Amino acid sequence: MCNDTYIPTEITVVLIDTRNPLNIGSAARALANFGVTDLRLVNPYDVAFREAVSAVGGAPVLQAARVFETLAEALADCSLIVGTTAGQGRIAQHPVDRLEAGMAHVRGFDGRVALLFGSEKFGLSNEDLSFCHSLIRIPTVPETPSMNLGQAVAVCLFEIIREGGSPPVRAAFESPDGADVEKITSLLKDVLLESGYTNRTTSISTHEKVRRWVRRLRISRRDAPLVLGILRQILWKFHRQ
Amino acid sequence: MCNDTYIPTEITVVLIDTRNPLNIGSAARALANFGVTDLRLVNPYDVAFREAVSAVGGAPVLQAARVFETLAEALADCSLIVGTTAGQGRIAQHPVDRLEAGMAHVRGFDGRVALLFGSEKFGLSNEDLSFCHSLIRIPTVPETPSMNLGQAVAVCLFEIIREGGSPPVRAAFESPDGADVEKITSLLKDVLLESGYTNRTTSISTHEKVRRWVRRLRISRRDAPLVLGILRQILWKFHRQ
């Protein structure tokens, strides 16, 4: 292995509902330190975040950061979604891996990987979590679990580029793009709703459940058009009746 | 290995000439996150640093932080001194290890280990470096090598507690306390000076050279009183003449 830092994978860092623009700046700096350039922001609280002085050497990353209104849009071209949490145990039906084990799936993954960081105060919402294939936690002590946002970003990226990190776990299949997975989720939700399997009053929580379930299935890139076709056909049939 | 974070070694974090009190606060938070409690400050720029709001969960660490006028005093009870730098290659005759390899010496070290972090703008001075047994650098990219202080502290502490980190390298001997090493340094400098080996006009740089050399020797805890005794005897003899 060479002596220099490298990011073996296409990494995207997504900051969701970030309140403090200084934290966006210091996250941008951490990206730049580890050679990551793709920063995306979903619904940042302060629209003037690009002026954050805390970016220092990360100013180009900050200037190039893209803003999205929804997480689904931000993840459209991402194949593996990894959420971060300060919690232990299971969260919203997801197992939570320690950082070291969790990043083993990221190192050498063939496709764009998104790392999600929630707001400073509340972390990722249940809706955010429903987009994730896996969750990781930095092994902080239980008495003081919650890290500063920029520090959490730095530690996560370091673990990815770390020499002698856990060996990469190759995905057994090519994942479809996030946009296709979201299309499947949306069509399946419609199918469940229109078939009467679920009802409209619970449709928001259903959407999240379906999203988690679709991601747990890990439909392959090759199978995605097939699944989409079947779901569209079912809906067409419903509307013909 | 258990699933929880633990610090296998007595770790002290020393921040030298830190300008921004927010950085002291966020460093304190990183210590708390990884279960480290001993923060020491040498000559902080802002005496009101204890009010730093950035400490959040690290407030108790910040309140308990001790302030020293000189680095020598701050290191009096430390047996292994590790400096941090953004530079690559060799600095002031010290080889610089990547973080992963450098922390292998820290994990499981039998005695108190001090990690030194220099000022935001200038890093560690040549005098600071002369106290160090070894130097480490976080493997950042050459274009943006310099990390935020709190982030650097977080990444270094994570590497120490990391599961599956480089295996601990047991020291082949017990190191003497930092205070004894500094006494040896000081006496040896006097001996070199009074013997005419070095002269007074270059004595500051001599002191640093001697300090580096004494640390490179790695005099054992058992041998320290012997060496001190010899040096004192030589000086006594000089003054008798």
Cα A98 to Cα A21, A135, A164, distances in angstroms: 28, 9, 17
Closest of B215, B218, B214 to residue B189, by C-alpha? B214
Does the structure show a pLDDT above 90 at A39? yes
Which residue's entry shows tokens 């299935």?
Answer: A217
* A149-161 vs B149-161: helix crossing angle, rounded to 10: 50
- Per-residue pLDDT at A168 exceeds 50: no
- Report the alpha-carbon distance of residue A90 to residue B108 in Å, rounded: 31
- Burial annotation A144-179 (CB, 10 A radius, 16+ → b, else e): bbbbbbbbbbbbbbbbbbbeebbebeebeeebbbbe
Nearest CB among A4, A141, A161 relative to B5 is that of A141
Strands laid side by side in the A80-84 sheet: A66-68, A38-42, A10-16, A112-117, A80-84, A134-137, A96-98
Please, are residues B231 and B188 in contact by the beta-carbon 8 Å criterion?
yes
Check pLDDT > 60 for residue B20. Answer: yes
Q: For B73, how many CA atoms within 13 A lie in the half-sphere containing its CB?
A: 10
Question: Is residue A16 within 8 Å of residue A42, measured between CB atoms?
Answer: yes
d(CA A172, CA A179) in angstroms, rounded, equals: 20
Q: Which of A4-8, A197-201, B234-238 has the lowest mean pLDDT?
A: A4-8
Report in angstroms the alpha-carbon separations of A230 from A178, A234, A236, B228.
19, 6, 10, 84
Burial annotation A99-123 (CB, 10 A radius, 16+ → b, else e): bbebbbbbbebebbbbbbbbbbeeb
Report yes or no on whether pTM surpasses 0.90.
Answer: no
**For residue A77, which of A28, A118, A35, A113 has the smallest C-alpha distance?**
A113
User: Which of A2, A23, A97, A162 has the highest number of chain B CBs within 10 A, making it the mutation to test binding with B?
Assistant: A162
Q: How many Cβ atoms sit within 10 Å of the Cβ of residue A91?
A: 18
Of A61-70, A81-90, B27-36, the one with minimum mean pLDDT is A81-90
Of A34, A98, A143, the CB nearest to B163: A98
**pLDDT tens sequence across B114-171:** 999 999 989 999 899 989 988 999 999 988 999 999 999 999 999 998 876 554 444 4
pLDDT at residue number A204: 66
All structural domains of chain B, each given as residue ranges with its CATH number in brackets, are 10-161 (3.40.1280.10), 178-240 (no CATH)
Q: Which residue has the tokens 């430390």?
A: B78
User: What is the side-by-side strand order in the sheet with B38-42?
Assistant: B66-68, B38-42, B10-16, B112-117, B80-84, B134-137, B96-98
Residues of B with CB under 8 A from a CB of A: 3-5, 26, 29-30, 32-35, 54, 56-58, 98-100, 138-148, 150-152, 154-155, 158-159, 161-164, 166
Range of weakest confidence among A167-181, B144-158, B172-186? A167-181
In the prediction, which pLDDT does A208 show?
79
Chains A, B: CB contacts under 8 A, how many?
121
What sign does the dihedral B152-B94-B6-B35 (CA atoms) show? negative
pLDDT number for residue B232:
84
Tell me the average pLDDT of chain A.
Answer: 84
Residue-wise pLDDT for A195-208, tens only, equals 777 777 666 677 77
Q: Indicate whether A6 pLDDT > 70.
A: no
A84 has a pLDDT exceeding 50: yes
Query: Does B141 contact A32 at a Cβ distance shorter than 8 Å?
Result: yes
Query: Which of A139, A147, A150 lies nearest to residue B148, judging by beta carbons?
Result: A150
**Is B142's CB within 8 Å of A32's CB?**
no
Lowest pLDDT segment from A170-179, A218-227, B123-132, B198-207: A170-179
Q: What number is the average pLDDT over the span A180-201? A: 82
End-to-end CA separation in angstroms for chain B: 62
Residue A61: its pLDDT value, please? Answer: 96
